[in-house]
Amino acid sequence: MKDTLSAAVVLIGNELLSGSIQDKNLAHIAKELEVRGIRIRETRIIPDIESEIVEAVNHLRQKFDYVFTTGGIGPTHDDITSDSMAAAFGVNNVIQQTVFEQIDKRFKEKGIPFTKEAQRMAYAPQGSEIIASKHSIIPGYRIDNVFVMAGVPSIMRLMLEGVIEHLNTGLTIHNKAIHANVGEGEIAHPLGIIQDQHPNIDIGSYPQDKNSEFSDYRVIFMVKGTDLEEIQITCDKILAACKDRGHDAILA
């Protein structure tokens, strides 16, 4: 897809791998980035193990324009993302004085002890750019092309609002959906031809969710690109291919 930027997301946390908690961050990040012309090209879910965090970050930051991480920047023993990020960049994990003072002030207002463990939330790798959020005292931060955010969805979303202001953007990625009663095996050949004719358009084919408002249709085709005219032409060809095979299809 022309004139877009690429990104990877690293979801950090043992709880994600065990199924104890279901990820709610990836879809939100992807949607927020797509309208800004940034495409998620790879996602990894990794445990709270420093060597694995270091390997993933160092590999992905060289491969993509941006890397976004979620999880592991809280006060508990398993929150090792900032330590690991410092190791990945070969720097020290150091206290960020402005963040320290900000959290200290809030804890005092609430009468909460600002323990040594809680102070871990004020650390970030040396040289990081702290990214403040309007609605959260705990900021995310940036080091080179890597953006580090919390794993709790509500906090991550607040951090992402601040992160977005620091991103370069590409052309907006638009998408349209076609719902069809055709079987995937039946449409696979013409769909492949249409994709070859429009290499700058992404065409995805997925079985229809039985709980959706379009549950009467068997398949949904997602058509994405930066050129609205070419998206429409591609959709018209898919609709025609379905009709030629005697099946109903609608552009939603």
3-state secondary structure of 90: coil
Structural domains in the chain, sorted by start: 5-164 (3.40.980.10), 174-251 (3.30.70.1130)
Query: What integer pLDDT is reported at residue 222 of this predicted model?
Result: 96
Query: What integer pLDDT is reported at residue 2 of this predicted model?
Result: 72
Query: What integer pLDDT is reported at residue 134 of this predicted model?
Result: 73
The pTM for the full model equals 0.88
Query: What integer pLDDT is reported at residue 210 of this predicted model?
Result: 76
**C-alpha to C-alpha distances, 137 to 53, 62, 78, 116, 198, nearest whole angstrom:** 25, 31, 21, 17, 46
Beta strands in the chain (DSSP E): 5-12, 38-46, 66-70, 93-95, 123-125, 129-131, 140-143, 146-149, 174-180, 202-207, 219-225, 249-251
Mean pLDDT by 10 residues, the chain (252 residues): 90 94 96 95 97 98 98 92 97 95 92 93 95 82 97 94 92 94 92 96 90 82 95 97 92 88
